[in-house]
Amino acid sequence: MHEMEEPAGVAGIAEGAVAGAMPAAVPATFEDLFAEQHERLYRALYLITGNTHEAEELMQDAFIQVLERWGHIDNPPAYLYRTALNATRNRFRRLKVAARRTLTGGEPEDPFAAADLRDQMTRALRGLPERQRAALVLTDLLDYKSEEAAGILRVTPATVRSLASQGRAAMRLSLGADDDR
């Protein structure tokens, strides 16, 4: 597995993910679901895997599974994300997961500082256990409520909140340790 450069648009993940919050209505067609969710799902998978090719492949596999089961799914967006996350979990059992609750308020003026910050955040995200990373990505970056994330991860909302809290604490420690160097 080779890590690749960030895909276009991933640098602004916070703005793109939060701005594209979960639609209120269930999409009427598969094409509507794809149009609404493909970019968000790709960004989420890129954050989890850190690899553009893996994220793209996982995203395509998840959409194929949704298409194959389209008439039998009550909540296609939730099924899509659950499928993608399960595939990620199966494929990358040894990877650790991460996300950050508070991102910087704006783009730093120094492009090198921005690149350093993205690198620190990515390393901190990769340093978390898989379940914590998934909970953080869903709740903090994709702006899901704990109840929605719980449905995707097939755990209770309290478990999602606990995992996200533990992930944030671990990231604070990880990022604080990097500052001490």
The predicted model scores a pTM of 0.46
Give dist(CA 117, CA 85) in Å, integer: 26
Contact call for residues 26 and 75 (beta carbons, < 8 A): yes
- Predicted pLDDT at 178: 55
Per-residue pLDDT of the chain (181 residues; tens, 9 = 90+): 444 444 444 444 333 333 344 444 678 888 999 999 989 999 988 888 788 898 899 999 999 999 999 888 889 999 999 999 888 887 655 443 333 334 444 554 677 777 787 888 888 888 899 899 889 888 888 888 889 889 989 999 999 999 999 998 998 888 876 554 4
Angstrom distances, CA of residue 14 to CA of 40, 51, 86: 11, 18, 23
- Predicted pLDDT at 179: 52
**What structural domains and CATH numbers belong to the chain?**
26-95 (1.10.1740), 96-181 (1.10.10.10)
